[in-house]
Structure 1
Amino acid sequence: MLIVTPSISIPDSELIERFTRADGPGGQHVNRTESAVELRFDVASSPSLPEEVRERLMARRDRRMTDAGVLVIQARRFRDQARNRDDARERLAEIIHAATIVAKKRVATRPTRASKERRLAGKAQRGETKRTRSRDWSRD
C-alpha cells in the first residue's frame, strides 16, 4: 500500500513493477543483477484517485505519461533493487501529491504609470546608445 495523503492511498495491486538490468558502473555485478526498477501506474483507470486529482495528472505535460494514461517511472539511482524500488514509489507519491494541490488563479493586473514610464525611458536610452554607435558615412 502506497500512502500519498491521509485520504489517498494506492494498493499494491494497481502498481506494476518490472526489474531490468541497470546501466552504468558496477563491473560484473551490473551484468548479473536486475536492480533497475520500472514502476507503472495507470492514472486513467485507477479507482484510488479522486476525479479532480486524475484530471490534473492527465493535464500535466509530462514525458513520463503515455498516451494511454499510464505513468512510467524508472529508478536506477542505486545499486540495489530494494532502494530503487523505494525511490520509484517515493517519486510516484510526490507526483500524485503535487497533483492534489490546486494552483491559484492568476489575478490580472495592469502596469502602473511609473512602470510604463520607466520602460519607455529605458527604450529611449537604448535607442540613444545605438544612435551614438553609428558612424556618419557621408563625411568621408
Structure 2
Amino acid sequence: MVDDLVVTDRLVIPAAELRERFSRSSGPGGQGVNTSDSRVELTFDVAGSPSIPAGLRDRALARLASRLVDGELTIAASEHRGQLANRRAARERLAHLLREAIVPPAPHRRPTRPTAGSRERRLAAKKRRGEIKKGRGAVEH
C-alpha cells in the first residue's frame, strides 16, 4: 500500500514524502495486541514538501500551526485491529486535514444596513407584541 496520497484532484502527495512508524497498539485485539505492531504514526513534512505550491503551503502552515512540530504533521491511528486498516485511516485523516487547511478563505463580507422597510416592520412587530403583553394584566375582582 505505498500509494500516493490524493488530497484534491490537483494536489497529490507522493508516497516518498510520507514516513510511517509502527508500534504496538493499546486498542482492541485480545492477545494479538501484545504481539502485532498495528498502531501507525504517519508523518508528513508540510514545511519542506516540494509537492505543495508555495501559496497553499503558507496557508496550510498557518492553519495547522498548533499541530505542527518543526513543520511536520503527525497522525496516529490505532482504532483498528489490523495494520493495513490503521494505515488507511491515518492516510484518510491526513488527506482530510490538508484538504481543510488549504481551502481558500471566504470572501470578505461587506457590512450592510437594514432597509427602512425592515426597520419599520420590526418596530411594528415589537409594538404588537407589547400590546398583547399589556392585555395580560391582572384580573380585577
User: What TM-score range do you get, normalising by the shorter chain?
Assistant: 0.7 to 0.9
Q: Tell whether the 8 Å contact from 2:39 to 2:76 is kept in structure 1 after alignment.
A: yes
Aligned with residue 98 of structure 2, among 96, 99, 106:
96
What is the rounded CA distance, in whole Å, between the counterparts of 1:111 and 1:34 in structure 2?
61
Cα distance change on mapping 1:58 and 1:88 into 2, 3 Å: same
Task: Give the corresponding residue for 1:46.
Answer: 49
**1:15 counterpart residue number:** 18
Report the equivalent of 1:124.
none
Q: Are the equivalent residues in 2 in contact too, given 1:53–1:96 (CA < 8 A)?
A: no
- Secondary structure of the residue aligned to 2:106 is coil
Residues 106 and 95 of structure 1: CA distance in aligned 2, closer, same or farther (over 3 Å): same
Are 1:5 and 2:28 an aligned pair?
Answer: no
Moved over 3 A (4+): 110-115
Identity %: 43
User: 3-state SS of the aligned residue for 2:27?
Assistant: coil
TM-score under structure 1 length normalisation: 0.72
For structure 1, the residue ranges without an aligned partner over 5 or more in a row are: 122-140
Counterparts in 2 of 1:98-113, with a 5 A limit?
Answer: 98-109=100-111, 112=114
Output the aligned Cα RMSD: 2.9
State the partner residue of 2:133: none
Structure 1 match to 2:135: none
Q: 1: CA distance between counterparts of 2:108 and 2:88?
A: 36
Contact 1:36 1:76 in 2 (8 A): yes
CA contact (8 A) 2:18 2:42 kept: yes
Return closer, same or farther for 1:58/1:22 CA change in 2, 3 Å cut-off.
Answer: same
Count of aligned pairs between the two proteins: 125
Distance of 1:37 and 1:62 partners within structure 2 = 22
Match of 2:78 among 66, 76, 79: 76
